[in-house]
Chains A and B, each alone.
Chain A
Amino acid sequence: MLWRIMKQIIDFEVTECAQMGPNYALLRLRPLRGEMPSIEPGQFVQVEVPNSKTTYLRRPISVNYADRHELWLLVRRAGAGTNALCNLPEGARLNIMLPLGHGFSTDVRGRALLVGGGVGVAPLRMLGRRLLAQGVEVHFLLGARTSADVLQLDLFRQTAETHVATEDGSWGHKGLVTAHPILQEPWDHIACCGPMPMMKAVAAIARERGIDCEVSLENVMACGLGACLCCVEDTADHGNVCVCQEGPVFNIKRLKW
């Protein structure tokens, strides 16, 4: 890319903190001043966590939706920091650094399967909309433990054909996403975001069948800017590289798994 969007630190106001069952919340945010910079599907933000006694660092969260006046973050209650974010009241202020990292490739043709697991579905609808606008045939495949963990299903269905797999069979196909029959169809491209075992399994299938595939990693991060070198992934071409800077999205060709 010859040009790039400058990183910024912006104060936001929480316009809504919608609980999505006991484990997730959707934060809808509005910049207090000015407009949002443009954000690519799969990029992330670093959120300062207010009112959290036991946490210290910012939390990296992938962007669920963004336009010039609004930012959505889909957050899983994974620990004290994300818990505090999910409990924010309407009107709370949040300091956010964005946009960060490199998102999904949009240089895609033909048929694309976008596979999400749990809260990993967060960045996929933005990507799907972008690919649809380019004339790509897009399908979503969403995996979750139970129907309660299938997030934003209605929004996905409004966007493109959506397939669901739940481990307990309470919604859609029973079993893991990797056992869903839709994966057996011919695909030109797979984009995947979810728990590590799921991404590794999807990557293995893509590799075996020669399908171009990208995954979004969530290695533990400190700075989010490529300075501290904490979040590295060991790549086939350049050894340890920062997930926050060269990722979070990687083509599986670069990964050693």
Chain B
Amino acid sequence: MVDLSVKIGQMCLKNPVMTASGTYGFGEEYADLVDLSRLGGIVVKGTTLEPRQGNPYPRMVETPSGMINAVGLQNKGVDYLVEHIYPRIKDYDTALVVNVSGRTVEDYAAVCERLRTLDKIAAVEINISCPNVKQGGMSWGTTTAGCESVVSACRRAWDRTMIVKLTPNVTDITEIARAAEAAGADSVSLVNTFLGMAIDVERRRPYLSTITGGLSGAAIRPIAVRMVWQVSQAVKVPVIGLGGIMNGRDAVEFLLAGASAVQIGTANFIDPQVTIKAIDYIRDYMERHGIERIADLRML
């Protein structure tokens, strides 16, 4: 009998497939098309202390097997989430994770503090990896000291499960992962997007208003798999793998690389039902290979 359940910190997931922050709204955007109760978890859109308008349009360009976005953490702020969105999503029968971002250490901690009143939020995902904001975001995730300061402050403000989302735009991602673990992270998720750029050669201008943005999609998958493999050997906490997962096979690849769970992001834009198909694929795969628990999915 295959058991798909996974534990990340104190958070129980019914299966290892979650949705990646920023690609799934608050879940409700997909509710017509997906039975949300089948998902392992939903990581909702990055939330900051104050509302943010994000970056000017254009914010997205399609690239080979991927896309570059520069949304810039547009969101209505944590108070709006608490008062208006949470009541609509709190009864979804899946693990709810709020992705938290900020400019200052105090911002991050204040958002966590505010979320503590929400019983149904199983975990926070501390985003020290957004490449599309001028202050904060990725800048906290590119040094061990920056990572340590944000993660410890959030640790003091949040006693449930805390995931730290890492940027791949660093020389050695294992260093940052170890710093997050040492500062109290229950899990690390990786990778956020790669800093990228694309130019409209006829107009001789960059496609994005911000010139550079975050590359996601299948194009980044082999690099993401490599980083998940490295980090899973460097830390003891469970690793959540993401980066270009397009289907169930790709999800299994991350689990074999050492991830305990996965997140699917960009692929939802192409097939909104990809998460459900991936869950079914993983179950079939485990039956086929005679593997009973997710933790036993390992490379030979």
Contact = CB atoms under 8 A, between A and B. Distances in A.
Interface in B27-54: 29-30, 32-33, 45, 53-54
A211 interface: no
Interface in A97-151: 97
B270 A56 contact: yes
A228 interface: yes
Interface stretch (A5-13, A83-91, A163-171): A5-13
Contacts of A55: 62
B88 to A, nearest CB: 14
A223 B45 CA distance: 14
Interface residues of B, number: 35
A222 interface: yes
Contacts of A204: none
B268 A232 contact: no
Contact of B272 (A9, A56, A57, A240): A9
Contact of B33 (A97, A226, A228, A232): A97
Interface in B53-89: 53-54, 56-67, 69, 71, 74
Contact of A230 (B60, B218, B268, B271): B60
Contacts of A224: 269
A182 interface: no
A52 B285 CA distance: 29
Contact of B59 (A56, A223, A232): A232
A58 B65 CA distance: 12
Nearest to B69: A230
Contacts of A226: 25, 29
B269 A232 contact: no
A58 B57 contact: no
A201 interface: no
A222 B269 contact: yes
A223 B23 contact: yes
B64 A54 contact: yes
A223 B273 contact: no
Contacts of B146: none
Nearest to A240: B53
B57 A232 contact: yes
Interface string B167-211: 000000000000000000000000000000000000000000000
Contacts of A56: 62-67, 217-218, 270
A82 B272 CA distance: 21
A229 B59 CA distance: 8
Interface in A217-252: 219-234, 239-240, 245
Given A56-B62, A223-B269, A229 B74 contact: yes
Nearest to A59: B62
Contacts of A48: 270-271
A228 B216 CA distance: 12
Most buried by B among A219, A229, A233: A229
Nearest to B75: A229
Contacts of A7: 32-33
Contact of B25 (A6, A219, A227, A232): A227
B24 interface: yes
Contacts of B268: 223, 227
A240 B30 contact: no
A54 B30 CA distance: 26
Interface in B6-37: 22-25, 29-30, 32-33
A8 B58 CA distance: 28
Contact of A6 (B32, B62, B69): B32
Given A97-B272, A226-B25, A234-B56, A9 B62 contact: no
A57 B269 contact: yes
A80 B72 CA distance: 28
Nearest to A239: B53
B54 A8 contact: no
Contacts of A233: 57
Q: Which 3 A-B pairs have the closest CB atoms?
A: A230-B60, A227-B25, A7-B32
Interface of A: 6-9, 48, 54-58, 97, 219-234, 239-240, 245
26 contacts: A7-B32, A48-B271, A55-B62, A56-B217, A57-B62, A58-B269, A97-B33, A97-B272, A220-B60, A222-B69, A224-B269, A225-B30, A227-B30, A227-B268, A228-B22, A228-B71, A229-B45, A229-B71, A229-B74, A230-B71, A231-B59, A232-B57, A234-B56, A234-B57, A240-B53, A240-B74
Interface of B: 22-25, 29-30, 32-33, 45, 53-54, 56-67, 69, 71, 74, 217-218, 266, 268-273
Given A57-B270, A222-B266, 7 more contacts: A8-B32, A9-B273, A56-B65, A57-B67, A222-B269, A230-B59, A239-B53
